[in-house]
Structure 1
Amino acid sequence: MSDADRRRAEAAAGNPAPIDALGRARIVLRASGLVLGLLITVPLHYLWRLLRIGSPWPKVFLGWAARFAGARVERVGVPLKRDVFYISNHLSWIDILAIAGQSGTAFVAKEEIRAAPVVGWLSVLNRTVFVKRENRMGVAEQINQLREALAENWSVTVFPEGTTTDGKSLLPFKTSMLRVLEPPPPGVLVQPVLLDYGAMGEEVGWIGVESGVDNAKRLLSRRGSFRMRVHFLDPFDPHDFPGRKAIAAESRRRIEEALVKTLGHPLRPFAYDVGPVRYEAPAPSRDGEDLPPQSPGPIAPPS
């Protein structure tokens, strides 16, 4: 196991590696770039709002922020601009910067992101609906917020895996947030999105018990940049797949198909401490239906 893989495994286990002087300098440099972007774009954003015209500045800044976080974002495909419900896989808080920077979408994201430095505030600025996974009583309120967003012709993105993974796996899609599509609002299409970090997926992934602060510090302190691709797949009409479970299944099928094509091999089961060299093919299909991957169980982190 390489040093980078060892650090990732330790971070996932809640044991972040110390950041050296160069790493701290990179954090300061990148944070300074973010502050500069804020100083330029936030006043312009509120000026646009004062003039009651659509503000492009959250999208501009979030794209800027993704670049300063180290991501060289490439867009593949064409994102719909409005009346669209994006459904995406999920690896990192950088996902929000990348997708919003390419499309200007609002989000549904896990509550923990609200506490992440800078990104939490940016998410609020970009109209994110935060979800507490353990708060089942709050689902109705969250659905109402989504309906209001779609009624105002927003684009909205959900991450139905319910957590972040490693770019080599795809968890079953939870469907509670897709109730907003029962029935689909008039004119709204669903567009699946694949986030592809390539070989960097496991290092970038916010997995295990690593805190949001530790993950942000780890990524902002790393040397160099990394490529990620945002694949906007072909949209479909949710009326063709009645019910949220059918919509989730079709979206997952399309994302999995694109991810397998990108990786060049079938997906592996997900466990936050599975080492990069470990690989297992999915369980064999039964009656032509792929079975969900089964976790092989935790592997002890390296000593």
Structure 2
Amino acid sequence: MANGSLRASAVLAAFLGFTVPLMPVQALLLKIAPKAARRFPNWYHNQVCRILGITLEIDGAVVEDAPVLLVCNHTSWLDIPVLSALAPVSFVAKLEVGGWPFVSALARLQRSVFVDRTRRQATGDAAAEIMTRLKEGDTIVLFAEGTSSDGNRVLPFKTSLFGAVSGAAAPSDPQVVVQTAAVVYTHVRGIPLTRADRPRIGWYGDMEMTSHAWGVLQSGPITVTIKVGAPVPLSEFKDRKDLALKTERAIRTDVLGILRGRPGDPGLVPVEPSQESRRQKLALPQARSEKWT
């Protein structure tokens, strides 16, 4: 425990010492060099992953020559640096994140889109911003479950979260593509995580963030596997329900393959979204269910 606390203290000090001086750099880039401001967080989060001791094992790549809606499963606050290290991205975040001390500043510097889903008009405004950003060439990350899981399952996707882009499948915007990213935390200190161990990394239910983050920093180096799906033109999806269904199936298949050590195995058949929906009330604690998104 003493060694774990020492490690956590050293990692936290290194993170703050690295991050705080760079925050005004990104703020300046946002004003004078928008293209550089898109790329800088990608470099920054690669360094953060090294500080945290996170090793990324990546299968596939986010396309660089088209605007991308990157649909992902959500397990932990670690997803933010992990996905940001994958490619230059911005996140769709719930409005409350904009009020979190320090975290809100980092989110704004990364040009996150904040959504107040309690107000229909505000949701519509956020949808318009997401579409504008996609048309400008950005890669936007959407955690389609609407909350985080324990890492052992993929929760049912919320079709309402795809409303922002459901009207984008138009001939005038053929360049927008959809990709999936299945994120699974597989090892701690080189030891494979079991089904019982994996929730120690997941941040879900009513977990308090500070104590959870401290425990994760104490645990040691972490390996995460990311399977990035092939790009599919947004115009090929009929509507938001079709988009949600097909991306959920793809992520379920990829997560199952990683968990079973059989990535890309066509013989794996994940639980269908409709079946999972019927079981979700028993799956996870629902108190304070929505995290980053």
Pairwise same-fold verdict (TM > 0.5): yes
- Corresponding residue for 2:242? 246
Q: Calculate percent identity across the aligned residue pairs.
A: 25
Instruction: Give 2:206's match in structure 1, choosing from 187, 206, 209.
Output: 209
What does the per-residue CA deviation read over 1:221-279, in whole Å, with 9 as the maximum and x for residues that have no partner? x13211001221112122222100000101011111111222229xxxxxxxxxxxxxx
Q: Is 1:45 aligned with 2:26?
A: yes
Of stretches 201-210 and 48-57 in structure 1, the one that deviates more from structure 2 is: 48-57
Please list, as runs of the form range in 1=range in 2, the aligned pairs for 1:48-127 lying within 5 A after superposition.
48-49=29-30, 51-52=32-33, 54-55=35-36, 56-81=39-64, 82-111=66-95, 113-114=97-98, 118-127=102-111
- Displacement after TM superposition at 1:113 (Å): 4.4
Counting only pairs closer than 5 Å after superposition, residues 175-194 of structure 1 correspond to structure 2 as: 175-184=159-168, 186=173, 187-194=175-182
> Residues 84, 23 of structure 1: CA spacing in aligned structure 2 closer, same or farther, 3 A cutoff?
same
Q: After superposing the two structures, state which structure 1 stretch, 105-114 or 38-47, moved more.
A: 38-47
Equivalent of 1:141 in 125, 129, 135: 125
1:34 Cα deviation after fit: 1.4
1:79–1:103 Cα contact (<8 Å) kept: yes
The runs of 5 or more residues in structure 1 that have no matched partner are 1-19, 266-280
- Aligned pair in 2 of structure 1 residues 238, 151: CA closer, same or farther (>3 Å)? closer
- Whether contact under 8 Å (1:66, 1:94) holds in the other structure is no
Aligned-pair distance for 1:183? 2.2
Is residue 167 of structure 1 aligned with residue 167 of structure 2?
Answer: no
CA distance in 1 between counterparts of 2:134 and 2:280 reads 36
Taking the aligned partners of 1:291 and 1:75, their CA distance within structure 2 comes to: 29
Aligned to 1:25: 6
2:149–2:284 CA contact under 8 A, matched in 1:
no
> In the superposition, relative to structure 1, how do residues 182 and 299 fare at CA in structure 2: closer, same or farther (>3 Å)?
closer
Distance 2:213 2:115 in 1: 20
Q: Please give the root-mean-square deviation of Cα atoms over the aligned residues, in Å.
A: 3.0
Cα distance between partner residues in 2 of 1:61 and 1:46: 13
Aligned to 1:226: 222
Count residues with an aligned counterpart. Answer: 262
Please tell me the residue identity of whatever aligns with 2:177: L
> Contact conserved, 2:205 with 2:284, CA < 8 A, in 1?
no
User: Does the Cα contact within 8 Å between 2:26 and 2:109 map onto a contact in 1?
Assistant: no
Deviation at 1:136, TM superposition (A): 4.8
- Output the CA distance in 2 between the equivalents of 1:298 and 1:243: 28
State how far apart, in whole Å, the 2-side matches of 1:38 and 1:116 are. Answer: 17
CA contact (8 A) 1:191 1:232 kept: yes
Q: What is the one-letter code of the residue matched to 1:262?
A: I
